[in-house]
Structure 1
Amino acid sequence: MDAALEQVGPRLRAARRARGWTLEVLAERSGTSASTISRLESGKRQASLELLLPLVRRLGIRIDDLLPGPPADPRVRRAPRRADGVLVAPLTLEDAPVQGFKLVLQPVAAPPEPRVHDGFEWVYVLSGRLRLELGGQEHLIEPGEAVEFDTRVPHAMSATAEGPAEVLSIFSPAGERMHTHGAG
C-alpha cells in the first residue's frame, strides 16, 4: 500500500478523537456504519472518496488533511550564533526532539561557573582539549573521546588555555536553552 494512503486511517482516527467523538457518534452523524469507520481507521478497508466525503464533511476537515504533505527539506539552515563567547552552530532542525550543535569554545584561564538543569548531555571532542568540570572534579577530554552526564550534576565546559576546542554536543531542549542561549 502507498505510504500516503497508510496515513489516512490514523489521521481520520485522530480527527475523530480530537472532537471527542466515538465511532458510533461519527457513524450516526455521517450515515456510515461504525464498523466501516473502524476498518478505515485500522487500515483494513481501503479508503475511497465515496467513503471519506461524508466523514470529512461531518468532521469539518478536508480530504487533504488526511494525507501527508510533501516531505520537508531535511537540510538544517540555522545560522551559527555566539552565546557566552562560544560559537554555536546548530546541527538539527529547530523542532527536533533532541538538539545537536557544534560548539567552538575559546581558550580560557579558568572554567565558567558550573550550571545545573534538567536533562542529559552527550559531548564528542573533535579538536582541542575540553575541560569538563563535573560534580567538583575536573576532567580533560581529548579529541576522539566522548562523555555523557546527567546535567542535574553541576557542570561547566571550556577549552583549556592551550587553544580552542571544537565539540559536538547533543542534549534535550532544556539543555539547549541553557547552553546555546547564554546564562541569562
Structure 2
Amino acid sequence: MEQAYKEIAPRLAGLRDALDLSVEDLAAKLSVEPETVAAYESGVMEIPVSYLFKVAQECGVDLTVLISGAEAHLTNFSLVKAGEGLSVERRKDYDYKSLAYKFTGRKMEPFKIRVPAKKADEVKAVTHSGQEFIYMLEGRLELMLDGNPVILEPGDSLYFSSHTPHSLRALDGKDAEFIDVII
C-alpha cells in the first residue's frame, strides 16, 4: 500500500503551482525553509498534519482536499459515526483519524489518535504553529513538554502551545487513545 504522503505530495505541488507561487514564495508564507517545502512536495518524506493544516490555511483550501483529494461539502454540521473517520498517515506508528473531514471551512482539526507504547529514547520532540487540546480516552500517555513529563490518564485533558517542543508515547506496554484538536 502506498504511503499517504506520496499521494499528498503532488497535491501540494499542484496547489502551489495553481496559485502561481514559487517554492520560495510558499516557504516565506509558511515561515519554513524552501528545502522543507521541496522535500514535502517530493513525496519522499512524511508530511506532518500541522504542515498540511498551515498550507490549507495560507492557501485558502480545505485540509480535506490536501489529505484525500476530495472536496469537503458540509457547512452546517458533520457527523462522523463511531469507527469512522478519515485515516491520515502522519507518522508510521500512529493511527490518526480526522473527525471533521466532511466539514468545509474548519477552524480547527480534531483527530482521534492511537499511539503505541515506546521507550523514552524512541520518541522525538516536534514543534509546529498553533495550539492543541488533548482529551484522554484510554491508556496512559506521557507527553513531554519542553523536556517536562506530563502523564495523562482517561478523562484528563491538556491544552498547550504547539510551539513548545513536544513528544508523546503510551505507557505500561499498551496503546493510548485520545482526542487531539489542533488550532
Compute the TM-score of the two structures, normalised by the length of structure 1: 0.50
Contact 1:109–1:161 (Cα < 8 Å) also in 2: no
Identify the match of residue 115 of structure 1 among 126, 138, 142: 126
Matched ranges for 1:26-175 at <5 A: 74-76=78-80, 78-84=85-91, 85-93=93-101, 95=104, 96-110=106-120, 112-172=123-183
Query: Percent same amino acid among aligned pairs?
Result: 24
The change in CA–CA distance for 1:73 and 1:106 in structure 2 (over 3 A counts) is: same
Corresponding position of 2:65:
none
Q: 3-state SS of the aligned residue for 1:107?
A: coil
Structure 2 Cα separation of the partners of residues 80 and 163 of structure 1? 21
Matched ranges for 1:14-25 at <5 A: none
Which amino acid in 2 is paired with 1:83? R
Alignment RMSD: 2.4
Which amino acid in 2 is paired with 1:107? A
Q: Cα distance, 1:161 vs. partner?
A: 4.0
- Give unpaired runs (5+ residues) of structure 1: 1-69, 173-184
Contact 1:104–1:166 (Cα < 8 Å) also in 2: yes
Which segments of structure 1 move beyond 4 Å, counting only runs of 4 or more? 70-73
Contact 1:101–1:168 (Cα < 8 Å) also in 2: yes
Q: Cα distance, 1:72 vs. partner?
A: 6.3
The change in CA–CA distance for 1:153 and 1:75 in structure 2 (over 3 A counts) is: same
Which amino acid in 1 is paired with 2:147? G
Q: How many residues align?
A: 104
Q: Tell which structure's C-alpha radius of gyration is larger.
A: 1
Structure 2 Cα separation of the partners of residues 158 and 133 of structure 1? 9
- Give unpaired runs (5+ residues) of structure 2: 1-73
Contact 2:86–2:99 (Cα < 8 Å) also in 1: no
Which amino acid in 1 is paired with 2:158? V
Q: Cα distance, 1:81 vs. partner?
A: 3.6
